[in-house]
Structure 1
Amino acid sequence: MQGASRSALAESREALSQALSQDTDRARLGEELLQVARVVDANAVLRRSLADPSREGADKGQLVHRLFAGRVGDASAQLAAHIVSRRWASETDLVAALEQCGVEAILAQAETEGRLGQVEDELFRFARIVDGTSELRSALTNRLAPVEARTALVRQLLAERSAPETTRLAELAATHRRTRFDHAVDGYLAIAARRQEQLTATVTTAVDLSEEQVTRLTTALSEQYSRDVHVNTVVDPDVVGGIRVEIGDEVIDGTILSRLDEARRRLTS
């Protein structure tokens, strides 16, 4: 998001934090914000009206109250009205903000239950499985496939062995109208990391790391960045040996493959 939308998103997150600090059903709040987002996204006239920068914020908030009164709870209606009353640079930014707040409320529920870290791990690993299985990737990313079929597939794969929030967010990513599955999951993982006030590192090696090695690496990275670091491990035999660490936009590549590629570039330059 750029310009006005960045400020609007920060204000929306602050309002969400206030709502979550109350005696609120976080799971219900999240689902109802996602419901509002779906309705707004599906109606071009409504979407344009709510994102119109020339329209008074109070008017847009009142419109949301009229449309969703009785369809969602008071807390959800008030928060949705606050979000749409901000000044957004585009219609898609408004829909994205409603979705992000809905996802964060669902993750906040996982946090309340003491399983936010579990959800983060499960989402990451499921995304890696999808990425590495062509048949599964096609089934979940085919926009022509019925939403019900993609939802049923996610539930079949996850419902019996994962946290309920993991299953719900995987369903959401698989049925997203605008965003690719992997990009959607990356966004959810970023929200989870932010709620835990930590950085997330993706570590790629040729073989599995032992629990002790992961612990030592986590400690070293946390000391280097002066913040808690959550480590997600990926095994990729193609890297041959060594280790590759990605934290945000920073990449520390000490794999043999990267060294071989560098040697090739030098030989051909």
Structure 2
Amino acid sequence: MVSFRGASAEAMAHLTDRVGGVAEGSAATVAENLFAAAGSFRSEGSLRRFAIDQSVAVEARTGVVRDVFAGKIDPAALDLVAAAAGQRWTKPRDLADALEQLGVVAAVRSVGLQAATLVDELFGVRRLVDGNTDLRNALSDPARSAADKSGLVESLLSGKVLAATVLLVRQALAGSHRTVTAALEDYERTAAQVNGEGVATVHSARPLDEATQQRLTSALTRQYGRPVHLNIVVDPAVVGGLRVEIGDDVIDGTVSARLDDARRKIAG
């Protein structure tokens, strides 16, 4: 997830609370509008500099931002964008990055009780892109237009996944992240966090049955003090056991890891 510091972290916390008040029925529109506003601030340097200029009165900054976006975005999104312009930001890019992050939160809110499904689908798309060189190249090709890439995403996913998943994959093509897969991983974590969960990626030589998944989920929940959503990766290279990645932590209980450890002890 994008990391905010100082004044930007305080601003983000305040704005995230405001997104929590957006009605579920309008959240998808708000998400799309926030993504559009983030893009505008990234591309329009003069607008961005004005919106974060602390020498300009808050009322003036929010007023101009309202004038710029009035009639172009939903009233609820307009209130959020204007409120963002009224905050203090630690770095110039933080305003646009925050709006993108808030858009992800709104997209998650739009799916209601299907947040876990959204996390699973984002993970599935990320794995698809990672494992398909042609698709990855097509989505990262600078010679292809944004509309062309967006159309490719629509043709692959529309009708097969949640509308919010399609929206977030399209945003992954246009946002601030280095690659599509990095963006999708960030969005997964945000979606899980909105749902009060952490995300653990579990590498196993074979699919895990429901009972094993439940035991692992319970163990990780106890260890980390909050519910944990599992993303399962079937990887024959694991040989046996499990490798669990959660945040910056890696719990490697695979046979290959134990063998490597034994070899080091013998060599040492």
- TM-score by structure 2 length? 0.91
In 2, Cα distance between the equivalents of 1:117 and 1:67? 36
Q: CA deviation at 1:36?
A: 1.3
Q: Per-residue displacement from partner, 1:79-114 (whole Å, max 9, x unpaired)?
A: 110011100112211101111111211110111xx3
User: Which residue is equivalent to 2:16?
Assistant: 13
In 1, Cα distance between the equivalents of 2:259 and 2:49? 52
Judged with a 3 Å threshold, the aligned counterparts in structure 2 of structure 1 residues 52 and 143 are, in CA distance, closer, same or farther, namely farther
Q: Per-residue displacement from partner, 1:177-232 (whole Å, max 9, x unpaired)?
A: 55321221122112211111112111111121122221222122223333211111
Contact 1:151 1:175 in 2 (8 A): no
Matches for 1:244-255 after TM superposition, within 5 Å: 244-255=243-254
Q: How many residues align?
A: 265
Which letter maps to 1:198? E
User: Which residue is equivalent to 1:231?
Assistant: 230
* 3-state SS in 2 of match to 1:207: coil
User: Which residue is equivalent to 1:138?
Assistant: 137
User: Which residue is equivalent to 2:90?
Assistant: 89
2:243 pairs with 1:240:
no
Displaced runs of 4 or more, over 6 A: none
User: Which residue is equivalent to 1:106?
Assistant: 107
In 2, Cα distance between the equivalents of 1:175 and 1:142? 12
- TM-score by structure 1 length? 0.91
Q: Per-residue displacement from partner, 1:226-255 (whole Å, max 9, x unpaired)?
A: 321111101112222210111212111111
Unaligned residue ranges in structure 1 (runs of 5+): none
User: Which residue is equivalent to 2:45?
Assistant: 44
* 3-state SS in 2 of match to 1:91: coil
Q: CA deviation at 1:54?
A: 2.9
Identity of aligned residues (%): 37
User: Which residue is equivalent to 1:166?
Assistant: 165
* 3-state SS in 2 of match to 1:166: helix
* 3-state SS in 2 of match to 1:7: helix
Q: CA deviation at 1:268?
A: 6.2
Q: Which has the higher contact order (CA 8 A, sep 6+)?
A: 2
